A and B are shown apart, each in its own frame.
With several copies, the nearest count.
Chain A
Amino acid sequence: MKTISEIQQEIIEEFNIFSDWTQRYEYIIELGKSLTLINKKYKIDNYLISGCQSKVWLNAELVGNKIIYTADSDAIITKGIIAILLRVFSNQHPSNIIDANTDFIDVLGLKEHLSPTRANGLSSMIKQIKMYAIAFRTKLA
């Protein structure tokens, strides 16, 4: 089982082979297209994190002592970044999720998408991911 920072390092290395933003974006778009679909029953307002640019739906479940996140978005770039975030955060122990940071996103050259002012829902999604982790840690304790 890889740690969060190992996965982050892995992604950074994958991105290193791209020589410009077009390739990075094409990859993200691919990731977006191949993102595992969220269960339809979670694609409702209760699970909605609304940025005013794009919508994000997020669900979290505790399986054993790990959290499984699933998510979706109506915008494909947002979805691609969601795929990256889930790869990092999903299937991890709550404590590790709480402690993790998202600086690797800067390294990938995607910083602007996580700006709280971009209102694409991603920065709220990260907040929400952490909130779930806090809630589930309490449950586990």
Chain B
Amino acid sequence: MINIQKIRADFPILNQKINGKELIYFDNAATSQTPQIVIDKISNYYLGYNSNIHRGVHFLSQKATEAYENARKTIQLHFNASRPYEIIFTSGATHSINIIALGYTKILKKGDEIIISEMEHHSNIVPWQMLCERTGAILKIAPINEDGVLVLDKFKSMCSKKTKLVVITHVSNALGTVNPIESILSISHSFNAKVIIDGAQAAPHFKIDFQALDIDYYVASSHKLYGPTGVGMLYGKERLLNELSLYHGGGEMIHQVTFKKTTYAELPHKFEPGTPNIAGVIGFGEAINYTNSIGLNNINSYEKELMEYATKELDKIKDLKIYGKAKDKTAIISFNIGKLHPYDLGAILDKFGIAVRTGHHCAQPIIDYYKIPGTIRVSFSFYNTKEEIDIMVDSLIRATKMLQ
């Protein structure tokens, strides 16, 4: 059960006025808010034991290293990865995806195929386009239908022994669609293809078990997971990670350096060259602890309630059209009202103290699919309330009147 009063008190940022109105933060899919306990964890790092990690003999360095590696273990356990070193810390989901895409440069051959869904975020499109350019591999687009749902049959028929990689978002950031990753994994694996799952919009909202689902690669961002900015994770099965080639060199990631020959360190270090975002990683671990203290199941059912309520209330607005009608959706509603431009509505909502996102949400192909200039995207978190939804609906109606 969610104790909303208590939870909102954990997020001091929510308690402020924008333009004279109480802030209503519905831009959680872009960046989630950070609880006090995570902010304190970061401050306490700088106040108490800020120090470079690994290899340091002194007390502060040992303490920082321990905290950093504990965060890795926290995240390993949270996602049930089999080894801590299968969790690589990166600067964000985008960075994680790029590490994988670069890593396949020498593995893919001309004519190999990468299947990617039509509903991907730019961060999960461009790296694969670049990989195709480097290798001569072919990017194939698995289409969606009008409801914003992946057409699984078509996807299946596109798979062949040429398919080396399948790239899919767990949850669409533009529509909220939850993709059937179990089916996608089993189809792909039956063709010996590896699956890269973009969990940026999934990890904040429900529990994921890497081993149970037999996941190959999974990426996420801390700043969407109630943690600090500048941190992300890349999960990969040990064997797969060890096959990737390396394109970033530096301290930490080497075993031995001479000008003649450099040998690399083991996982996870070889993918973490240079001084990492130590405070960020420690904060990320604390954010996961915080999430678990609330319970992802509680979060999920509360957010579902918000979603259903909001969908019902929004549907009452004349000419409002929701994009993305999947049965399985999470915490995101994308819509337009008549021919009104999303920018206009967003700008007016802002004046009402309501933060939503407008535009193409870095998922231009899907916006192009619907032949619209963009949408208004409302995205929820477990600190949002039905009252906030009521105020938004009311404000939308007023905004619509102003604009017509």
Query: Which residues in A have some Cβ–Cβ distance to B below 8 Å?
Result: 21-22, 25-26, 29, 50, 52-55, 74-78, 112-113, 115, 117-120
Contacts A54-B341, A120-B343; A29 near B69 (Cβ below 8 A): no
A111 CB, min distance to chain B CBs, angstroms:
9
Contact of B62 among A25, A74, A118 (CB under 8 A): A118
Interface centre among A50, A52, A74, by most B CB within 10 Å?
A52
Comparing B50-58, B192-200, B311-319, the segment that makes contact with chain A is B50-58
Is the C-beta of B403 less than 8 angstroms from some C-beta in chain A? yes
Is the C-beta of B34 less than 8 angstroms from some C-beta in chain A? no
Interface residues of A: mostly helix, strand, loop or mixed? mixed
Is the C-beta of B344 less than 8 angstroms from some C-beta in chain A? yes
Contacts A26-B402, A74-B373, A76-B403; A54 near B343 (Cβ below 8 A): yes
In the A-B complex, list the 6 residue pairs whose CB atoms are closest, starting with the nearest.
Answer: A75-B341, A117-B65, A75-B343, A54-B343, A53-B343, A77-B344
Are the CB atoms of A74 and B341 closer together than 8 Å? yes
The A-contacting residues of B in range 145-171, CB under 8 angstroms, are none
Query: Which residues in B have some Cβ–Cβ distance to A below 8 Å?
Result: 19, 53-55, 57, 59, 62, 65-66, 69, 255, 340-344, 346-348, 351, 358-360, 373-374, 402-403
Contacts A25-B351, A54-B373; A76 near B344 (Cβ below 8 A): yes
B82 CB, min distance to chain A CBs, angstroms:
18
Contacts A75-B344, A76-B344, A77-B343; A21 near B54 (Cβ below 8 A): no
Complex: chain B residue closest to A111, CB-CB: B62
Complex: chain A residue closest to B351, CB-CB: A21
Are the CB atoms of B373 and A77 closer together than 8 Å? no
Cα A10 to Cα B326 in complex, Å, equals 52
Contacts A21-B351, A25-B402, A26-B402; A117 near B55 (Cβ below 8 A): yes
Are the CB atoms of A25 and B348 closer together than 8 Å? yes
Complex: chain A residue closest to B373, CB-CB: A74
Cα A115 to Cα B374 in complex, Å, equals 20
Complex: chain B residue closest to A22, CB-CB: B402
Contact of B359 among A21, A53, A78 (CB under 8 A): A53
21 A-B pairs within 8 Å (CB atoms) are namely A22-B351, A25-B348, A29-B402, A52-B360, A53-B55, A53-B359, A54-B343, A55-B373, A74-B341, A76-B340, A77-B344, A77-B347, A77-B348, A112-B59, A112-B62, A115-B65, A117-B53, A117-B62, A119-B55, A119-B359, A120-B57
